[in-house]
């Protein structure tokens, strides 16, 4: 039937149908937004929060572990849960840059609970992002709205993790790796400041202490003479490389800007943090956040939201996994 032959009620119905179709097409393209699951799975965020909180009671390291997991997920194929996949030796999680990564059981736990109440709705990628936010809050850091609506990726390969930032990267290389992900030098400082909570293994400190730039017995001159004996005592030359030490030597379980003071004063534990004070731009950023009244927390949140949007799959892209460790 031609449109001109329609009666008025039919014409209105067709127009409304076209509008609805347009809106649905807009949704299929997809954009992240806060409260994405408010109608489809209202308890999504509270379930993740509960899992993070309960696990942290038994293991105080969990907040830092979950925050790191989100960073590592976003920095490879984008924030799409690819870091969770177990597909043999080639799995992304087996890349050198992901050594020591954890939090997988906590994500599995949250996913299992969510599948029980709203199956096939909440993506693993969103669970990772929400858990990171809850980890920050649990460490007395700022609350922020997580934009959700990510879908899970269908690719996982350790060869794709070659551009992960490494502890021994130069400041130029660190800036380049962040820039490739659309992140600024300011974002580099703020996201590195997430090291205000958590620990690292002595394995990642050995070169700074005993083999700086490949010179046997040489230590990194950026380490303060006051701090050097303490760091050597915690990570002796022939000691256990798996021994864990705080990245923030004063307030390792509290989210604050103390790590920036450490970096400025030569008390950075890992080389990549220390290198931030070698560059005029990142040095100025650090100095701007030393004051307790600075906008550090607000700007950290902005960088986290920005990072959380890297390479996301939305709308009809990707999938919603039933099991976070396997493609559907």
- Per-residue pLDDT tens digits for 166-220: 999 999 999 999 999 999 999 999 999 999 999 999 999 999 999 999 999 999 9
- Annotated ligand binding at 282? The verdict is no
- Annotated ligand binding at 170? The verdict is no
- Annotated ligand binding at 76? The verdict is yes
- Annotated ligand binding at 27? The verdict is no
- CA dist 82 to 78, 92, 104, 164, 226, Å? 8, 7, 12, 14, 42
Q: Which stretch of DSSP H or E encloses residue 244?
A: strand 244-246
Q: Tally the C-alpha atoms within 13 A of residue 303's C-alpha that lie toward its C-beta.
A: 21
Does residue 7 register a pLDDT over 70?
Answer: no
User: What pLDDT score does 11 carry?
Assistant: 52
The DSSP-derived string for 69-86 is HHHHHHTSS-SSSGGG--
d(CA 147, CA 162): 27
- Annotated ligand binding at 80? The verdict is yes
Q: What percent of the chain has pLDDT over 90?
A: 88
Does residue 77 register a pLDDT over 50?
Answer: yes
d(CA 283, CA 278): 7
- Annotated ligand binding at 92? The verdict is yes
Q: Which residues are catalytic?
A: 72
d(CA 316, CA 328): 15
Mean pLDDT of the chain: 92
Q: What is the pLDDT of residues 220-247, one digit of tens each?
A: 999 999 999 999 999 999 999 999 999 9
**Distance from first CA to last CA of the chain, Å, rounded?**
43
Between 9 and 171, name the one with better pLDDT. Answer: 171
Buried b (16+ CB within 10 A) or exposed e, 177-200: bbeebebebbbbbbbbbbbbbbbb
User: What pLDDT score does 30 carry?
Assistant: 59
Q: Tally the C-alpha atoms within 13 A of residue 302's C-alpha that lie toward its C-beta.
A: 12
Confidence of residue 101 (pLDDT cuts 50, 70, 90): very high
Q: Residue 202 corresponds to which tokens in the numbers above? A: 């002595």
- Annotated ligand binding at 52? The verdict is no
Average pLDDT over residues 13-26: 45
Does residue 22 register a pLDDT over 60?
Answer: no
CATH 1.10.420.10 fits 171-307, yes or no: yes
Residues sharing a CB contact under 8 Å with residue 31, sequence separation 6 or more, in sequence order: 149, 314
Residues sharing a CB contact under 8 Å with residue 16, sequence separation 6 or more, in sequence order: none
Q: 44-161 has which fold?
A: Peroxidase; domain 1 (1.10.520)
Q: What angle do CA 281, 282, 287 make, to 5 degrees?
A: 100
Counting every residue, how long is the chain? 328
What residues does each domain of the chain span? 44-161, 171-307
- Annotated ligand binding at 185? The verdict is no
Average pLDDT over residues 148-157: 97
d(CA 194, CA 189): 9
Q: Are residues 263 and 222 in contact, defined by beta-carbon separation less than 8 angstroms?
A: no
User: What pLDDT score does 80 carry?
Assistant: 98
- Annotated ligand binding at 73? The verdict is yes
User: No. of H helices and E strands in the chain?
Assistant: 13, 4
d(CA 62, CA 68): 10
Between 23 and 300, name the one with better pLDDT. Answer: 300
Q: Tally the C-alpha atoms within 13 A of residue 90's C-alpha that lie toward its C-beta.
A: 6
């Amino acid at each position: 039937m031609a449109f001109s032959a329609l009666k008025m009620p039919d014409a209105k119905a067709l127009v409304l149908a076209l509008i609805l179709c347009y809106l649905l097409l807009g949704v299929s393209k997809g954009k992240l937004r806060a409260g994405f699951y408010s109608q489809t799975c209202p308890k999504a965020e509270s379930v993740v929060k509960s899992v993070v909180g309960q696990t942290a009671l038994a293991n105080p390291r969990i907040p830092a572990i979950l925050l790191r997991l989100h960073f590592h997920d976003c920095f490879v194929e984008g924030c799409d849960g690819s870091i969770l996949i177990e597909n043999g030796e080639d799995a992304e999680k087996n890349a050198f840059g992901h050594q020591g990564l954890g939090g997988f059981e906590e994500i599995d736990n949250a996913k299992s609970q969510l599948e029980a109440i709203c199956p096939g709705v909440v993506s693993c990628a969103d669970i990772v992002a929400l858990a990171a936010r809850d980890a920050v809050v649990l460490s007395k850091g700022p609350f922020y709205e997580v934009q959700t609506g990510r879908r899970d990726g269908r690719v996982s390969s350790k060869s794709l993790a070659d551009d992960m930032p490494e502890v021994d990267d130069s400041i130029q290389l660190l800036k380049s790796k962040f820039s490739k992900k659309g992140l600024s030098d300011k974002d580099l400082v703020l996201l590195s400041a997430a090291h205000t909570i958590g620990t690292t293994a002595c394995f990642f400190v050995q070169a700074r202490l005993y083999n700086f730039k490949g010179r046997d017995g040489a230590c990194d001159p950026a380490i303060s003479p006051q701090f050097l004996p303490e760091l050597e005592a915690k990570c002796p030359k022939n000691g256990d490389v798996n021994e864990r030490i705080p990245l923030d030597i004063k307030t390792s379980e509290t989210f604050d800007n103390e790590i920036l003071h450490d970096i400025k004063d030569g008390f950075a534990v890992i080389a990549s943090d220390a290198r931030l004070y070698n560059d005029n731009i990142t040095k100025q950023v650090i100095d701007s956040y030393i004051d307790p009244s600075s906008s550090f927390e607000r700007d950290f949140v902005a960088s986290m939201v920005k990072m959380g949007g890297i390479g996301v799959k939305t709308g009809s892209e990707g999938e919603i996994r039933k099991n976070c460790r396997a493609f559907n």
